Chain A
Amino acid sequence: MNVDLFFYLLVFPGFLFTSILGLIVGWIDRKVSARFQYRVGPPFFQNFNDIFKLLGKQTVLIKNSLKSPFIIAPLVSFGSLVILSLFIGLPLFFDKSFGGDILVILYIMVVFSIMVFLGGGASGNVYSSIGAGREIKLFLADELTFFLVCLIPIVSSGYNLELTSIISAQNAGAVVGSIHGIIGFLAGIICIQAKMTMQPFDIPEAETEIIEGPLMEYSGSLLAFWKLNHYMMYVIYPFFLIALYLGGFDFQGLGIIWSLLKYLLIVVIMIIIKNTNPRLQINKALSFFWKILFPITFIGLILAILGV
């Protein structure tokens, strides 16, 4: 069709850029976590080595599993994340967008959770089934709040559904500069924490409790895709939050450093939350999102409508 689309999809905002930056940020996560625990931490290329090693290992298919969903799930979720990085990267870097792309982004984000459920459920392992069920419960918990988090910048930018117009509406001042912006931004970081199943909300993939849950029976290259998906989310969700609340990126002069600081701010807040909080129970996570975070974000939305 046209070469530009393939370049966007496979190289710059798409696959290569997202995965390489994600693996590097994943290393930052592991290193900072190690320093939190008074350790040295892994070397710089550790995540790359892990992924390449997993790609070369044998992939075991289980006799009692449903084989086609088991194989499809990591690949489809990987594809959905590549498309997601395209939809979020194009407005941020190339100022290209189409009407209502926030809705498309929200729909594609659902695909990932469903694929985790499908892959975990298909493997036929008890722990995987528990993890898959928990993934859907956590998804039910955070989705409503995440929707409101997306709604606040839409309202404050004058009811625009395009990411480019949301970013350009923040030229005068980012959404986070107002009260409803701060509420939405902090709620957004907690929602991202749950979407990425990071520490206080790593309920579906509890390593010490249900042994990485849905990923338990995966091995070899399929596991490599799951790990890569996790690292790609380190790029996709913070970029989405930057587009919604921090006014996107600016690549002129000192703007590069400022853009980098915005990204690192979100990542470091996420890592600090990850390292200082123990894992919640699933019922407590659900009641935290529905009873505490949802009303606060709803007040933020009302404030946004009133223009405070």
Chain B
Amino acid sequence: MGWYQKRLAKSLWVFHVSASPCNNCDIEILELLTPRYDLERLGIKLVGSVRHADVLLVSGIVNKKIAPRVKRLYKQAPEPIFVVGIGSCYSSQGVFEASYNRCQKLDELIPVDMYVPGCPPKPEAMIEGMAKLMGELNE
């Protein structure tokens, strides 16, 4: 499958899952897709439907209302699918740690392949995360 993995690494289509974030990470993700950083030169494209996606960019604490939906989105996506956790919320749940509606963390819900820490992470950090994912695929 080495040949196929290389093709996959060169065209990762990204689907943005905002799982109850504070919108900071979302704004940074949108900035990531602007002409300034131009992810299309790496073959990365934002898609609107989860059926077309290769990577789920999940941002935010996963609260009680969104948790079943994140799980369902993960099941709806066609294999192979990778999950990238954006922001600090996936592990420590950041400032929302004492929030009444928090439930399990993202990596207890679905398998996560790559983490990009930061509150919010800079677009350069996210590009580095994606580059590491590509590097893993290319090996």
The A54-100 residues at the B interface (CB cut-off 8 A) are 56-60
Contacts of B52 in A (CB 8 A): 212, 215, 218-219, 223
Residue pair B43, A60 in contact (C-beta under 8 Å): no
Main secondary structure of the interface of A (DSSP, over half): loop
Bound together, the chains give a CA A90 to CA B80 distance in angstroms of 41
Bound together, the chains give a CA A50 to CA B13 distance in angstroms of 9
> Is residue B139 contacting chain A, with contact meaning CB distance below 8 A?
no
Residue pair B43, A43 in contact (C-beta under 8 Å): yes
> Is residue B4 contacting chain A, with contact meaning CB distance below 8 A?
yes
Main secondary structure of the interface of B (DSSP, over half): loop
Q: Mark B28-67, 1 if CB is under 8 A from A, else 0.
A: 0000000100101101000111011010000000000000
Contacts of B71 in A (CB 8 A): none
Known: A46-B10, A216-B49, A216-B51. A39 touches B40 (CB 8 A): yes
Contacts of B48 in A (CB 8 A): 207-208, 211-212, 216
> Is residue B8 contacting chain A, with contact meaning CB distance below 8 A?
yes
The A13-62 residues at the B interface (CB cut-off 8 A) are 30, 34, 37-43, 45-46, 49-50, 52-53, 56-60
B1 nearest CB neighbor, chain A only: A56
> Is residue B91 contacting chain A, with contact meaning CB distance below 8 A?
no
> Is residue B76 contacting chain A, with contact meaning CB distance below 8 A?
yes
Chain B interface category by residue count: 20 to 34
B37 nearest CB neighbor, chain A only: A39
Residue pair A49, B35 in contact (C-beta under 8 Å): no
Known: A37-B35, A38-B35. A58 touches B78 (CB 8 A): yes
Bound together, the chains give a CA A59 to CA B7 distance in angstroms of 17
A1 CB → nearest B CB, Å: 35
> Is residue A220 contacting chain B, with contact meaning CB distance below 8 A?
yes
Known: A211-B48, A217-B51, A219-B78. A49 touches B11 (CB 8 A): yes
B123 CB → nearest A CB, Å: 14
Bound together, the chains give a CA A38 to CA B35 distance in angstroms of 7
Known: A41-B41, A42-B43. A60 touches B76 (CB 8 A): yes
B7 CB → nearest A CB, Å: 5
Task: Give 7 nearest A-B pairs by CB, closest first.
Answer: A211-B48, A219-B51, A58-B78, A58-B79, A39-B38, A219-B78, A49-B10
Can you show 9 pairs from A to B with CB atoms below 8 A apart? A30-B40, A34-B38, A34-B40, A40-B41, A49-B10, A56-B4, A215-B52, A216-B49, A218-B51
Name B's A-contacting residues (CB within 8 A). Answer: 4, 7-8, 10-11, 35, 38, 40-41, 43, 47-49, 51-52, 54, 76, 78-80
